[in-house]
Structure formats: structure tokens, C-alpha cells
Chains A and B, each alone.
Chain A
Amino acid sequence: MAEFLQSLMAYWESFPADLRFVVIATMQILAVTICVILTVAFTTYFERKVIGSMQGRIGPNRVGPLGLLQPFADVIKLLIKEVVIPQKSNRFLFVIAPLLSIIPALATWAVIPLSDGFVIADINAGLLYVLALTSVGVYGVILAGWATNSKYAFLGAMRSAAQIVAYEIAMGFALVGVLMAAGSLNLGDITRAQAGGLSHWFILPLLPLFFVYFISGVAETNRAPFDVAEGESEIVAGFHVEYSGVAFAVFFLAEYANMVLISALTAIFFLGGWASPFEGWSFLGDDSLLRATSFFWLAAKISFFIFVFFWLRATFPRYRYDQIMRLGWKVFIPITIVWIAVEGVMAWLHVGPWARLAS
């Protein structure tokens, strides 16, 4: 057995270095993608359980123990459903639109540092890449609404385009604040800049930006209470009213993958990513597991934010459209501009938690 493994290793070593690099990268990518898709599957189960118990119901409990196999049953059902392409639609765009939603939702994970030292593509411009790809996501929604050639879909697409665009500005400004504090566009460096325990996380000096970022994230993913793009009670299902079967499943997958992504990004930008909240507690001993940085902490933070998504959905009624636009343009953008100015002046005067900036 050992000899066989050795010969396998020797064979592997005989490949050119570039090829080995590509093979390893592809393996990592597949592993991360499968994990993301599984997370999405159980997120849907988690959502139904959480909202079920918030509304005094049981939630899914028939398929498998505790209903845990429910997501797989759903996937199989959606796979064998017929995909209807409406006659008056633009067939090419109709099929491309779900693809344009899912590609950025998955590919953004390339720059997310999952633990100290593990990131698929450790690029300098990580944050720019994240912003660029999340912006592409809106094309999926607009194209879906336009290609369908249905009035409901068209209205949903218009609403969602204006909404996503408005909240993206607030999101961008909030990220400028994070950049000022971290001094790097690399997501790993942003996390490392928050090392040292709870009191070093950006959530404290950037508290307003944290709220702006997360709420904008909820609006960006078209989740309740900002789900006017879907608005079941007014425009049936908005941009995906005519999508059925697997084409709908792809939109669904993209929406939930984006939710997990926003949760991960919020954890990385404001809650120290993989860092432990107890890092600064030296009385726990030097080799305490509680103080170590690990993927577990990132996963815990992501799960918490996903829970907040569902909590918001179960708690708040849907916003009216003019209220959404007012919140985005007249509340969030002024808050972020003011906070960037405050941060700049504080850094210049060496005051407070920003003092190290101007060193």
C-alpha cells in the first residue's frame, strides 16, 4: 500500500508545476463550491425551521430524521419539474439570466478567507473583486424581468434594479470606512487588522457602518423586509414569475448563496472573520482552544447573520417602495458620508480607536 502511494506521489511530482497548481486550485474550488451549495441547502431548511418556530409552527419534519433531508427532496422535485419558456419571451436571455445570477454568487467565494492561510485566490484587490461581482448579480434580475415579457416580471425587475443600485452606494461607502481602518483591499489583511480580540474588531469604531452594511446587504439580496422585487401579494413573484423547475431553482440557489456571502462578508469586515472573540483574554492560558483562530469562529458568525436574515423576515412587514428608497438615499448615504469624515478627522488627530491609522 505504502509503495503504491509512493509511486502515485512520484507520478504526481512528475507533472509540470503549472499543471499541478491548476489541479490543486480546481480541487479547492470544487470543495468550496460543494460546501457552499450544501450550506445553501441546509440554509433553506434552517429558514423554514426558524420561521416555523417563530410563528409557533413545527416546520419541515417528514423527510428524514427531523426533516433534515427536506432540502434534497426539494432539489429532486425541482429537477424533474418542467421548465416552461414563455412564447413571447426572449429565449436566449431567458436562459442566460439565471446563469448570470448564480455565477457571481458562487465565484465571489474565491477571495473569501475561510481560515488563517486558506483562501483560493489571495489577490491584492480582493475587495474590488467582491464589489465587481456583486454588481454583476443585478444583471441576472434585470435580464430575467425583461426577457420574460410579462408585466409582473418587468415591474419586479425595475423595482429591484433601482433598489439594488441605491443600496450598493451605501454599501460601497461603508466599505470605504472599513478600508480606512484596515489599510488594505485584501480580505485576509482586513481580517488580520482586527486581530487581538473583541475590542479590536471594527464593529466598535465602525458601528454605524456595520448597521448600514448589513441592512444594505439585506436589501441587496432582495430579502424581507426589502423584498418588493418579489412581493408575492402585489406582483406575484416579481422577476421570476415565469421561471419554473430548475431555472427557478438556480435563482433560488443564487439568492441563498448571496445571503450566505453577505453574512460571511459582514463577519470578515466587522467581526474579525476567523478570529476568536476571546483572543485577548490571557487568563484562559496561552494554548486555550477558545483563543485560537479557526474556521469554526467564521462559521459561527456566518450562522448568526443568516439567523438574523430569517429573524428580520419573521419580524418586519414589507417596506413600501418609497420608504425603501428614502432609507437608502436619505438615511444611509448621509450616515456613511458623515462617518467617513469623522473617521478621517479622528485618524488625523490621533484620537480614539482610529489613532493607529495615521502612524
Chain B
Amino acid sequence: MVSGDVVTDSMDRSSRLRRHITIDADLAQLADIRAAVREVASTCEAPADCVSDLVQAVDEAATNIIRYGYRGEPGSIDMTAELVGDDIVITLSDEAPTFDPTAAEPPDLSIAPQHRRPGGMGIHLMRLSTDSMEHRVRPGGGNILTLTRSRVRRPKEG
């Protein structure tokens, strides 16, 4: 099941725009959450590279929540996307066991691949496609992950 709503307030000159969607913790619903991100980023007049970065980051985050958070158990993911100044701020909220992707070790691309720490390719992509990632434990259980990406400049590589 997918549910959502769009609230736009054209009267507010600080350009607040907000989109909310809830998806089941099911890999088959990743396409719906990506479509919602695309829609909101386009409404924010974000350039193509910003839209695809946000789609990437949210897809990788939601995939991790479904696979390694809920692990096949039923659950849901709430996504809120909001334009704050020139930042698009996306919050993913779940009720899965605590997992902090921001604490995962980044792969060191300067060393030979066979000596790198395994895992974390999706998290690596999340880092490169956002300006910041912040994790909080959700009161009552679960996780709140906030991804921020400027719509006017690309995040630093590396």
C-alpha cells in the first residue's frame, strides 16, 4: 500500500514545500518511493543531477531499511521531503531495530580493492549523493534518517 499527500504553500516566500509518503517495507515498493522523490525534487526545480542523487540516496537507504532493518518482517517506512531554503531535506522514519548507516566505515577508494573492508556500497553511494546524513533513534523504537542535498550545487566527491 502506498499513501501520500502533497502540501504546497505558494504564499510562503521561504519556498516551503512538503511531500509525505508511506510505503510498506517491501522491495517491490522501492519504485514508488523513487517516483515520490523525483516528483518532489522536480517540483523544487532541482537540476537533473540533484534529482538523480536524491533518488539514489533514498533508494539505497530504503533498501537497507527493508533488507537489514525489517529483515522480511512486516513494517513501513515514512518519507517526508521538504524544501528548506535551497536544501532538499528528506526524512525516512521506520520502526525497525536501531541501525545507524552514518556510523558505517566508508570504503577507502585509495587502497587496493582486495584490502578494503567489505560491505557498504549502498552507504558509500548515499554519502556521495548527499551533503549530509544524520541518524537519530526514534522515540519508542526505530530510526529517523535525515538526508540533505542542496539543489544548487553538487556534493563534494570522495
Please indicate whether A and B come from the same complex rather than being unrelated chains.
no
